[in-house]
Structure formats: C-alpha cells, structure tokens
Amino acid sequence: MKCHLALFIASLLFFCTGYHEMKSTGSSGYGQSKSENGNLIITFSVLAFTPESRIKRFLMLRCAEVTLESYCTYFRIVNDLSYENGKTPYGGQIGDNTHESAFEIEITQNLPETDKDYYYKAQDVVDAGGSVEIKIKDYSPRR
C-alpha cells in the first residue's frame, strides 16, 4: 500500500513539474547529436505516461533553446524521430516505461526564401513556452 501511495505522489509531482524544473533537476533526459547530413537531433526522454502534447511542447522548447545557443535565429523540423516502448529508429533499445521524442532540426541564421512556413523563429517558440503548432514538410518522393 505504501508503495502505491509513493508512486502516486511521485507521479503527481512529475506532472506538476515544469520544463525548467525538469531540466535543472535531471528528471528528464535531454540529448543532442548530429545527423549524417549535419543537422541536429534533439531528444527528450520521459516516463511513458507523460502526455504526448507535453513531451512535444518541451521538445519544441529545447529545439528553440539549442538554436539560440548556437547563435542562430531560425530552425525547422526536418524529421520526427519519436519512438516509444523500447524500440528506437536507430535499432537500439530503451526502457519499456520510457517515451522518447526526437526531432531532427536544421538551424539557420537567416530565413530562407523557400519553405518559409516551416521555419520557426526560435525566440518566438521560447516566448510561447514551446506551445506552437508542429509543422513538418514531407520531403519523401511521391509515387
């Protein structure tokens, strides 16, 4: 009984925790790597019962922060590499109770002439707390 109560309280605290508290306390896992084509892959790992909307919001916020930390102004999502329940798009394994969202992003200082609607101004995303519409252009060839 005590175990269930402790788990309930821990879950409640987790859902009440904001982005900056999670980032500073290490209660979530942020990651960053480079893709084969030089873009950045930003990851955010949390327990599987975290609502997807919250995960995506925090991931968008982290993408914006990384863009600004890189002295750039804009980013676009090239690919959504999110996964859950043990399988990664890279063939690796994560825990069964983990959800990880990952975006491959391209960052730039100046807004390109093409596909302007798919770029985010990083400061606007930070100001919105990551609560923005997620836009990903499908670049796959049509059949």
pLDDT of res. 94: 52
Does 141 fall in a domain? Answer: no
Does 69 fall in a domain? Answer: yes
Above 70 in pLDDT, residue 79? yes
Does 7 fall in a domain? Answer: yes
Mean pLDDT for the stretch of residues 65-88: 83
pLDDT of res. 75: 96
Does 32 fall in a domain? Answer: yes
Residue 94 makes CB contacts below 8 A (sequence gap 6+) with 45, 83, 86, 87, 88, 100
Count of structural domains, the chain? 1
pLDDT of res. 81: 85
The residue segments making up the domain with residue 114 are 2-127
Which has the closest alpha carbon to 95: 45, 30, 54?
45
Mean pLDDT for the stretch of residues 16-21: 42
